[in-house]
Amino acid sequence: MHLIAKLYFWLAGWKTIGTIPPEIKKAIIVAAPHTSNMDFPLARAFFYIKKIQVRYVIKKEWMKLFLKDFFMSTGALPVDRANAARMVEHMADLLKEAERMYILISPEGTRSSVKKWKSGFYRTAVLAEVPLILAYLDYGKKEAGIGPVFHPTGDYEADMKYIHNYYSRITPRNPEQYENLA
């Protein structure tokens, strides 16, 4: 998949920026902004190119027939959004038990426009005592990247201000669906 992903990026004119520091063995990777179905193949290709094994949250409705095998083979963690009450604890437990694990989460929880991000990605990082890695797809620059490693302080409002400020410079595929929340 590494070579296929490199070819895909080359043909599409995309470049990769950054990587996860080697000392970071576990983290929540924040995938924002998320405004298009095209985000998935680009993000997945990015992590194949970087040879970083990631798991990612996906709604369980996508796990049907032949799609289930495909998504599971690419790192899917199916989520029942109607019964998400224990999801934070479940993901934190997965991180605590693993020797090395990166979970990719879109804080919007959808490709549609939202007024407020869901807090589960942040609460999971705090509960599992792992950092947040700020990753992005910048369609304006045709750049997929890993930005700073951010260690949550527990002050949700202050931390989110920093995170939203970081993402305010990123151009999503569909800017009209992404509201800068800073």
- Give tens-digit pLDDT for 73-105: 888 877 776 766 688 888 899 999 999 999 998
pLDDT value for 182: 45
Examine the pLDDT at 156 and tell me if it is beyond 70: yes
Residue 153 CB coordination number (10 Å)? 10
Distance CA 68, CA 73 (A): 8
User: Considering the entire predicted model, what is its pTM?
Assistant: 0.86
Which of the four pLDDT bands, split at 50, 70 and 90, describes residue 142? very high
Task: Indicate the CATH number of 2-177 among 3.40.50.300, 3.40.1180.10, 3.40.1130.10, 3.40.47.10.
Answer: 3.40.1130.10
pLDDT value for 86: 82
DSSP, residue by residue, 117-173:
--SHHHHHHHHHT--EEEEEEETTTTEEEEEEEE---S-HHHHHHHHHHHHTT---S
pLDDT per residue as tens digits for the range 113-131: 556 788 889 999 999 999 9
Examine the pLDDT at 179 and tell me if it is beyond 80: no
H or E stretch covering 47: helix 39-49
Residue pair 182/164 in contact (Cβ under 8 Å)? The answer is: yes
